[in-house]
C-alpha cells in the first residue's frame, strides 16, 4: 500500500486500512514494506479513530496523540510503548498485546482513559488499564498467527482469567464469546463480585451452572447454539429459575430449532414471571401466537415488561425475506398490544455485519 496521499491529510480524523484479501502469513519483505508505510501516518496528528485490518505486528505505528479508538483485530502489538503514546485511547480492539522482557518494568497504568477492550487474548492489558469498564475476551485464547487453533482451557488458564478479572474494579460489562459453563463459571462469579451488571454469553446459554451469575445481572444477552431435546428441557428450567433475578433487559438469539418453532408457548410466557424484566429483545422468527401468550401472561401476573423488540438480521437468516418477516411482525406486535396495552412491541432490522458494534448493542 502507498500511504503517501493519506499522510498529506493532517486534519484526517477517521481512517480504515483494509486488506480483505489477506488469507495467511505475509512474506517478510511485504511486512517490512507495510511497516514502513505505517510510519508515514505520523503526520495525522488529528486522527481519533484508526482501523487496521492487517495480520501482523502493528508496533510500527507512529505516535498518534489524539487517537481514541484503535482496531486491529488480526494483529499483535509487541511494543507496549506505542500505547503510552496514545494517552486519549478509550477503545482498543486487538488480537494480543505482549511485552518484551525489558518492558516488564513499565508503569502499571499506561492507558488511564481506556474504557472498552476487545481482545483475542487477555494478556497484559489488564495491568495497563485497571479502570476498564467493558471487556470482550474469549476464555479460550485466540490463535496467534502461525498457530492452527486455540488450545483447550486448562485449570491454570481459567484461574489466570479469573485473577485478571479480579483486578478490574470498574468492570461493568463482560462479553464471553465462547466456552463451556464449566470453563467460565468461576470467571462469572468474579465478574459478579466486581459488580458487573451486563453479561453477554455465546454458545453456553441455558446452562444451570450459570444461574448464580446470570441472576445478578441487569442486562443479559444469550445466544445458545445447542439443539438436542435435553437442551430444550434445560431452557425451560433455566427460564423458570430466573423469575426472581435482577435482569431488567434480556436479549436472546433464537435459532430455528424444532423445539423453538414447534412449541414456543411452552417457554416464552415464562418471561412474564421475571420480576424485574422491563425490556425484551428477540432475534428470531417467531410465531405470532407465542408473543400474544407472553403478553397475556404479563397482564395476568403484573409483569413490569413494557417493551418488546423483534430483530431481523440478514446475516443470520435467509428465509423469510425481510419484507415477509416485517409483515408477520406487524401482526405479532398488534396481537401483543391488544393482549396487554401497556407493552409496546416493535420490529427493527439489526445492523449489518459491517456496522455491528463490537460491544454488542450496548
pLDDT score for 280: 95
Distance CA 309, CA 138 (A): 28
Instruction: Report which secondary-structure segment, H or E, holds 310.
Output: strand 307-312
| Residue 351 per-residue DSSP state | P
Task: Give the pLDDT confidence score for residue 362 in this predicted structure.
Answer: 33
Pairing of strands 279-283, 91-97: unpaired
- Give mean pLDDT in consecutive 10-residue pieces for the chain, a chain of 362 residues: 89 84 60 80 94 73 91 78 84 81 60 89 77 85 60 64 82 81 76 86 74 91 69 80 95 64 68 96 72 93 95 61 78 91 88 44 34
pLDDT, residue 78, reads 74
pTM for the model: 0.80
* pLDDT for 304: 97
Count of alpha carbons within 13 angstroms of residue 30, beta-carbon side: 10
All three cell numbers of 200, joined, read: 453477554
Q: Beta 249-253 vs 219-224: how paired, if at all?
A: parallel
Rounded CA separation 111/84 (Å): 7
* SS3 (DSSP) at 199: strand
Question: What is residue 13's three-state secondary structure?
Answer: coil
SS3 of residue 76 by DSSP? strand
Write out the DSSP string of 123-151: TTHHHH-TT--EEE--SSPPPPTT--SPP
Fold annotation for 1-124: 3.80.10
Nearest to 111 by CA among 74, 70, 141: 70
Q: Choose among 56, 61, 109: nearest CA to 87.
A: 109
Q: Which pLDDT value is given to residue 76? A: 77
Amino acid at each position: 500500500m502507498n500511504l503517501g496521499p493519506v499522510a498529506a491529510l493532517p486534519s484526517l480524523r477517521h481512517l480504515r486500512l483494509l486488506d480483505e484479501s489477506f488469507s495467511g502469513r505475509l512474506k517478510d519483505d511485504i511486512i517490512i514494506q507495510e511497516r514502513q508505510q505505517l510510519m508515514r501516518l505520523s503526520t495525522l496528528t488529528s486522527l481519533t479513530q484508526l482501523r487496521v485490518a492487517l495480520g501482523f505486528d502493528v508496533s510500527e505505528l507512529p505516535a498518534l496523540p489524539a487517537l481514541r479508538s484503535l482496531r486491529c483485530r488480526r494483529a499483535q502489538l509487541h511494543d507496549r510503548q506505542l500505547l503510552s503514546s496514545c494517552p486519549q485511547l478509550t477503545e482498543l480492539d486487538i488480537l494480543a498485546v505482549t511485552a518484551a522482557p525489558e518492558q516488564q518494568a513499565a508503569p502499571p497504568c499506561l492507558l488511564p482513559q481506556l474504557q472498552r477492550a476487545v481482545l483475542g487474548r487477555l494478556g497484559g492489558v489488564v495491568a495497563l488499564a485497571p479502570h476498564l469498564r467493558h471487556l470482550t475476551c474469549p476464555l479460550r485464547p485466540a490463535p496467534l498467527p502461525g498457530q492452527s487453533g486455540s488450545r483447550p482451557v486448562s485449570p491454570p488458564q481459567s484461574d489466570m482469567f479469573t485473577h485478571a478479572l479480579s483486578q478490574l474494579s470498574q468492570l461493568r460489562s463482560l462479553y464471553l464469546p465462547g466456552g463451556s459453563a464449566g470453563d467460565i463459571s468461576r470467571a462469572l462469579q468474579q465478574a459478579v463480585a466486581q459488580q458487573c451488571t451486563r453479561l453477554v454469553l455465546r454458545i453456553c446459554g441455558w446452562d444451570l451452572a450459570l444461574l448464580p451469575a446470570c441472576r445478578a445481572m441487569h442486562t443479559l444477552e444469550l445466544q445458545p447454539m445447542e439443539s438436542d431435546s435435553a437442551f430444550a428441557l434445560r431452557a425451560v428450567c433455566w427460564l423458570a429459575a430466573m423469575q426472581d433475578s435482577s435482569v431488567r433487559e434480556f436479549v436472546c438469539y433464537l435459532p430455528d430449532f424444532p423445539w423453538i418453532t414447534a412449541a414456543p408457548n411452552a417457554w416464552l410466557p415464562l418471561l412474564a414471571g421475571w420480576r424485574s424484566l422491563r425490556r425484551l429483545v428477540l432475534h428470531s422468527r417467531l410465531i405470532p401466537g407465542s408473543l400474544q401468550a407472553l403478553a397475556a401472561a404479563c397482564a395476568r401476573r403484573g409483569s413490569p415488561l413494557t417493551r418488546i423488540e423483534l430483530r431481523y438480521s440478514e446475516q443470520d437468516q435467509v428465509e423469510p425475506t425481510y419484507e415477509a418477516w416485517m409483515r408477520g411482525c406487524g401482526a405479532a406486535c398488534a396481537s401483543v398490544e391488544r393482549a396487554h396495552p401497556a407493552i409496546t412491541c416493535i420490529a427493527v432490522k439489526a445492523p449489518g455485519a459491517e456496522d455491528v458494534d463490537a460491544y454488542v448493542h450496548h
